[in-house]
């Protein structure tokens, strides 16, 4: 006899996904998750991403943070806030596994990061992406980010070509 297939509804699966502040024990899994999204979906196999080699050193500071979404100990999402002074935060490394897109996880992760940013006194959040990330651009616009022509002086240029700002 074969096993019966049990269908898990998306809302039930979402209850099993927790969002936690990054911990070093997830360093390799987090790096591999981000690289798999970039490589597998966009063909960007460049592994020279220094921030992913030292997530704690790069993103965990007095006013910076990095969060991961976990399902049964597996990384299924990431998001970061980086402090760049003058009340400005930079939203980075927002990725959600394909099977969790459209479930509300991305919104939960964004809410986590923006709540943190508000609590730390940031007045603005900036982010950069690229034209190829159409779903990301739609998501950011839908969640209140306005498109801007370029990042303010003092924010790093990572080679992206689409920029957004959100007033907090």
88-117 burial, b if ≥16 CB within 10 A, otherwise e? Answer: bbbbbbbbbbeebeebebbebbbebbbebb
30: in domain: yes
- State the residue range of the domain holding 120: 10-128
pLDDT, position 6? 45
38 closest CA partner among 92, 90, 91, 89: 92
pLDDT band of 46, cuts 50, 70, 90: confident
140: in domain: no
93 closest CA partner among 107, 105, 110: 110
pLDDT, position 124? 98
146: in domain: no
Contact 19, 109 (CB under 8 A): yes
pLDDT band of 41, cuts 50, 70, 90: confident
71: in domain: yes
82 closest CA partner among 107, 51, 111: 51
156: in domain: no
112: in domain: yes
Tally of structural domains, the chain: 1
Q: What is the pTM of this model?
A: 0.89
- What is the token pair recorded at 68? 């991961």
CATH of the domain at 40: 3.40.630.30
């Amino acid at each position: 006899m074969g096993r019966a297939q049990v269908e898990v509804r998306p809302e039930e699966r979402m209850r099993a996904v927790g969002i936690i502040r990054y911990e070093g024990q997830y360093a390799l899994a987090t790096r591999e998750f981000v690289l798999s999204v970039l490589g597998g979906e966009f063909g960007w196999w460049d592994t020279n991403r220094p921030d992913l080699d030292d997530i704690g050193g790069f993103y965990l500071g007095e006013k910076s943070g990095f969060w991961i979404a976990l399902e049964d100990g597996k990384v299924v999402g990431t998001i970061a806030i980086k402090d760049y002074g003058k009340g400005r935060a930079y939203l980075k490394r927002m990725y959600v596994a394909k099977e969790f897109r459209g479930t509300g996880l991305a919104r939960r992760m964004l809410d986590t990061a923006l709540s943190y940013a508000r609590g730390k006194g940031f007045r603005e959040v900036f982010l950069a992406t690229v034209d190829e990330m159409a779903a990301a651009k739609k998501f950011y616009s839908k969640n209140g980010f306005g498109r801007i022509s370029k990042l303010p002086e003092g924010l790093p240029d990572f080679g992206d070509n689409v920029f957004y700002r959100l007033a907090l």
